Amino acid sequence: MMAKGRFPGMGNFNNMMKQVQKMQKEIAKMQKELEEKEVEASSGGGAVTVKANGKKEVLDIIIDKEVVDPDDVEMLQDLILAAVNEALRKADDMVTSEMQKITGGMPGLF
C-alpha cells in the first residue's frame, strides 16, 4: 500500500539530484582553476617550448634562435608542431585527471 501523496523512490532521486548539483559546482570551480594552470612542452631538445593552459589555449611559444635557419624552415615548423601538440596533450591530460577526481572516474560523466 502506497502512502497518500508520496512517490516511492523520490527521496533517492532528490539525493541523486543534490549530488549532481554538487558535482556541477565542483566542475565549474575546477574549470576556473584550470584556466590558471599551465603546462609546458618542448621539442628539439628544448629548441622550441610551448606553454598552454587548462582551456587548451597556447599561451607562449619560445624558439631558440639557433634553430631558425632560413634554409630549413620545415624543420622549425615540425619542431613547433610537435611542441604545440605535446602541450595540448598535456593540458588535456591535466583536465581529464582533475575531472576524474571530481567524478570518481564514473564512466559517461566526462
C-alpha cell at 66: 639557433
How many whole angstroms separate alpha carbon 72 and alpha carbon 7? Answer: 73
How is 3-31 classified by DSSP, letter by letter? PTT--TTHHHHHHHHHHHHHHHHHHHHHH
Q: Does the pLDDT value for residue 8 go beyond 80?
A: no
Q: Which sign, positive or negative, has the C-alpha torsion 15, 16, 21, 24?
A: positive
Average pLDDT value over all residues in the chain:
86
pTM of the predicted protein model: 0.71
C-alpha cell at 52: 598552454
Please name each of the domains of the chain with its CATH number: 31-100 (3.30.1310.10)
Q: Can you give the pLDDT at residue 4? A: 53
